[in-house]
Amino acid sequence: MGGADVDLGPAKQQCVIAVLLLTPGRSVPVGTLVDRIWGAYPPRASNAVAPYVARLRRVIAAAGGDPGLLQFVSGGYRIDVAAEQVDLHRARRLAAAAREAQRAGDDKSSAGLLRQALAGWEPIALAGLPGDWAARVREALHRERLDLLADLAEARLRLGFADAVVEELRPVAAEHPTAERVVAALMRALSAGGRVPEALECYARLRAAVSDELGSEPGAAVRELHVELLRGNEPASNRVPGPAVPAQLPADVAGFTAREDELRRLDEALGDDRPVVLAGTAGVGKTTLAVHWAHRVRHRFPGGQLFVNLGGFGPVESVLPPEEALRGFLEALGVPGPRIPRELPARAAMFRTLVAGRRLLIILDNARDADQVRPLLPGTPGSVVAITSRDQLLSLVAIEAARLVNVGLLTQAEARTMLAWRLGDQRVDAEPAAVRRLGDACAHLPIALAIVAARAAGRPDLPLASLADQLTAGDRFDVLDGHDASSNVRMVFSWSYRSLKPAAARLFRLLGLHPGPAFTATAAASLAGHPVDQVLDELVQAHLFVPAATGRYEQHDLLRAYAAELAGTDERDALHRLLDHYLHGASKAMRLNHTPSVLTLPPAQPGTVVDEIADDSAALAWLIANDSVLTRLIRLAGQAGFDGHAWRLARARDHFAVRQGRWNDLVELDQIGLRAARRTGDRAAEAELLRSLARALLMLGDHDGARRHALTAAGHFHELGEQTSEAQTHHFLADIFDRMGQPRTALRHARTALRVYEAIDDRAGMARALNATGWCHAVLGEHRLAVEHCARALAFFREIGDRDGEAATQGSLGYACEQSGELDAAIGHYNQSVRLCREIGERFYLADTLTHLGDCLRAKGDRRAARAAWSEALDVFDELDHPAQDLRVKLAAASE
């Protein structure tokens, strides 16, 4: 049960599309998809989701749609459809519009919108989908639908349709006896029609059902309604409003978008009396979210709403002491000024006394720490408190059991929606690429997007592309200045920075040297020159970094740019340690990952922490996790004058990049390393990078460039007496001439490489040259010689434990057998090559071998297995951004 095999059942296929449609336009990590589809029994395959995605693409294409809607992005899959095309999100938009209409007093429009929302809402969501995740979502959506039914009933009740509401809600209440809002709406409708005894019977049934199913009592709101009915009072919702109550909420933000998950978690807080902490980085929109949610639910709080800005993160003089916040609350609750006590404990006690028995909504905005918040918390159940802060306020979470809701950055789709609301769909639709650039340059941070939108709105003649150019070419913070403290992104960040302790402030500055996008504690320790675990915890709590994958941390681009400003240019020793950390780690990973070359390094600087890498699988994981950092560091080292690091990092990465098929950036980075090697005068390094550059150019189709650079490298190695490297280069020249359609010339270079390897008794080199020689014989149709040379190569590779070479040789044997018509033998060799490619993380050759495997299976008449092999190959090629047009043609023909 622990490792179920992958099947292509329709239920799991539907699960994939359901997960993606719940967050359209947002990448869902493969691990998350696996967890939601298979739960506690994940499959053994490394990416079990790929076959389902491949099948869904074909289903979409067969229906006349664009299969490109399903994309592999940043380690996950994304479906590029507008939220309006998904029934759930369309219904939620209508429900949000209904709430806006209700707040404006337009119950007729509110009821109409709610009817539209419910018409498109299936009574049973995700029907037929198995698994715990589907069950949880189904239950959550079921509760959400019941709330919409209750909203509709209350709107119609206010319009005077009490009898109709009774008829509509009776069957719903009978089917869902613990749905408190539905039952409460039915009780109000019965009371409005003069049928109070029936309303009391409804409450009795609700109380019994809640007791039986949940072992508790109904919530405070429906209990209060029951008491009013017992006293003979008309329910508050049916009466003309009484005396004024506090209504301190700021105005809601028009056009509020996204944040559905955070809003759902806030709604959950209505079911208990724990405080909620909305924590997030500066400018992420915590206050906007809290205020929007408060307006959405304020009708549930007959005692009113209290709001205070505690000024916790701003100029020091703006921090509001809790006693001053309490004074404002007490005055809002009707306490005359002279009666308000002077001391904080007395004020807090009076506040707790006044709110006892009342149901208030209290928003404590911009809290600095838990001590500022605690005196403002009610002492009895009934009221709900929402707190916003840049700190996670873990003390409140630990002691007061507060709910913690982390507020993250907007997605690309959400950022586009925000800009469209402020600038209009026509302007945004006219420049989609510029809109994406604006979102990226603003790090999808709401405050930055709002400032950019304001600038664009003030210049309707200015193309959005020009504004994006200003953000990316110049000083972003000059553009992101709204001309007051609260809308100046640099100033907003500074308030978080100034609140840090000295050690945390120093590490924040130093991490501005790290090129991102993620770093480890060991990288941070290398920058600082000492352990930093406790300091990192402080930065995480302050939302200046967020934990990402295990042991890693992330920081959005704008905060990283701000940290880089603070770091300045006087931290060269720290940058040296950082480069040493990654160079020594990459070199160690390179050796363990069976790279056929050696890199000699100078000692690391004192204070540098080098990662422990246990084995080849850990080495591959390290290279995958750190590759984007390595690419940026190579550029940074070349610019900052660390030439030795630049060329060595390029060398350390190149074999991994080849395996992963990352040809485009390999050309750029090898050129940086080549220039750095030439500046240092290291001819051997220059020759190595020339050969690596030639390999990248070859894979991009520049055969002449590849040949020219490789021949130059071979000449350098010959002059230096580097026989091993010279042989390796002749081996590579064999590959170049093979791809140029000159197999005889290729065979000559392969034999030259073999002779040199034999002369120096390099068994690993001999194995590679034997495989190359065998391949050339196979291309020339000399089957016996091909198998003979490849068999000798395979024996050598197994003897020295080189799985990379073994994978390549199995592929060569497969090709030789395929060309001679021995299809069963070819399939066996290709399967062995595929297995080894998966183990070592070789991506491009995996896809290429799967393509050949599919060809053999098709020739054997097994169309289904052929399609499966081709589909997986195409998924890999798509991830590598390789066109694979011939493969697409094969798949299209096989589907007919």
Q: Are residues 336 and 460 in the same domain?
A: no
Domain boundary among 431, 460, 490: 490
What phi, psi does 254 have (nearest 5°)?
Answer: -65, 145
Q: Are residues 400 and 417 in the same domain?
A: no
Asked if 807 contacts 844 with a C-beta cutoff of 8 angstroms, the reply is no
Local confidence band at 157 (pLDDT 50, 70, 90 cut-offs): confident
251 within a domain of the structure (yes/no) = no
Give the domain CATH number at 65: 1.10.10.10
96 within a domain of the structure (yes/no) = no
Give the domain CATH number at 841: 1.25.40.10
pLDDT of the residue at 701: 86
Q: Are residues 437 and 303 in the same domain?
A: no
Task: Inform me whether the pLDDT recorded for 419 exceeds 60.
Answer: yes
Three-class SS string for 60-101?
HHHCCCCHHHEEEECCEEEECCCHHHCHHHHHHHHHHHHHHH
Smallest Cα–Cα separation from 644: which of 605, 681, 692?
681
Alpha-carbon distance of 330 to 511, in angstroms, equals 45
Six-digit token string for 787? 């198998």
302 within a domain of the structure (yes/no) = yes
Q: Taking the complete model, does pTM exceed 0.85, yes or no?
A: no
pLDDT of the residue at 316: 55
Task: Inform me whether the pLDDT recorded for 752 exceeds 90.
Answer: yes
Q: Are residues 433 and 388 in the same domain?
A: no
Q: Is 678 left (phi over 0), alpha (psi -120 to 50) or beta?
A: alpha
Asked if 661 contacts 846 with a C-beta cutoff of 8 angstroms, the reply is no
Task: Inform me whether the pLDDT recorded for 8 exceeds 60.
Answer: no
Q: To the nearest whole number, what is the mean pLDDT of the chain?
A: 84
Domain boundary among 490, 511, 533: 490
> Considering only 45-59, 227-241, 259-273, 406-420, which range has the smallest mean pLDDT?
227-241
**Tens digits of residue pLDDT in 491-528:** 777 877 888 889 999 999 999 899 877 899 999 999 99
Structural domain total, the chain: 4
Mean pLDDT of 594-615: 85
Q: Are residues 385 and 465 in the same domain?
A: no
Q: Are residues 329 and 353 in the same domain?
A: yes
Mean pLDDT of 729-739: 93
Domain boundary among 406, 425, 446: 406
Cβ neighbours around 8 below 10 Å, total: 11
589 within a domain of the structure (yes/no) = no
Q: Is 869 left (phi over 0), alpha (psi -120 to 50) or beta?
A: alpha
% of the chain surpassing 90 pLDDT:
34
Task: Inform me whether the pLDDT recorded for 674 exceeds 70.
Answer: yes
> Considering only 158-167, 482-491, 834-843, which range has the smallest mean pLDDT?
482-491
> Considering only 70-84, 173-187, 666-680, which range has the smallest mean pLDDT?
70-84
Q: Which is more confident, 481 or 453?
A: 453
> Considering only 159-163, 368-372, 760-764, 806-810, which range has the smallest mean pLDDT?
159-163
Q: Are residues 328 and 465 in the same domain?
A: no
Q: Would the CA dihedral through 220, 222, 223, 225 be positive or negative?
A: positive
pLDDT of the residue at 869: 93
Cβ neighbors of 506 (< 8 A, separation 6 or more) are: 528
Q: Are residues 440 and 377 in the same domain?
A: no
pLDDT of the residue at 484: 60
Q: Are residues 282 and 419 in the same domain?
A: no
Q: Report DSSP letters for 302-318, one per residue.
A: TT-EEEEE---SS-GGG
**Tens digits of residue pLDDT in 773-816:** 999 999 999 999 999 999 999 999 999 988 889 999 999 999 99
Task: Inform me whether the pLDDT recorded for 100 exceeds 90.
Answer: no
785 within a domain of the structure (yes/no) = yes
Mean pLDDT of 585-611: 85
Local confidence band at 460 (pLDDT 50, 70, 90 cut-offs): confident
Q: Are residues 649 and 760 in the same domain?
A: yes
Local confidence band at 234 (pLDDT 50, 70, 90 cut-offs): low
Alpha-carbon distance of 871 to 854, in angstroms, equals 9
In degrees, rounded to 5, the angle at the alpha carbon of residue 495 between the alpha carbons of residues 492 and 496 is 100
pLDDT of the residue at 798: 93
Local confidence band at 142 (pLDDT 50, 70, 90 cut-offs): confident
Mean pLDDT of 619-638: 91
Give the domain CATH number at 380: 3.40.50.300
Domain region containing 296: 260-406
203 within a domain of the structure (yes/no) = no
- Residue 675's Cβ-count burial label (10 Å; 0-12, 13-18, 19+) is middle
**Interstrand relation of 403-406 and 518-520 (parallel, antiparallel or unpaired):** unpaired
What phi, psi does 481 have (nearest 5°)?
Answer: -125, 110
167 within a domain of the structure (yes/no) = no
52 within a domain of the structure (yes/no) = yes
Q: Are residues 376 and 421 in the same domain?
A: no
Asked if 764 contacts 799 with a C-beta cutoff of 8 angstroms, the reply is no
Burial 571-592 (b: 16+ CB within 10 A, else e): beebbbbbbbbbbbbbbbbbbb
Amino acid at 690: L
Local confidence band at 315 (pLDDT 50, 70, 90 cut-offs): low
Q: Report DSSP letters for 814-855, one per residue.
A: HHHHHHTT-HHHHHHHHHHHHHHHHHHT--HHHHHHHHHHHH
Alpha-carbon distance of 473 to 782, in angstroms, equals 58
Mean pLDDT of 154-159: 84
Asked if 493 contacts 562 with a C-beta cutoff of 8 angstroms, the reply is yes
Local confidence band at 569 (pLDDT 50, 70, 90 cut-offs): low
Q: Are residues 743 and 883 in the same domain?
A: yes
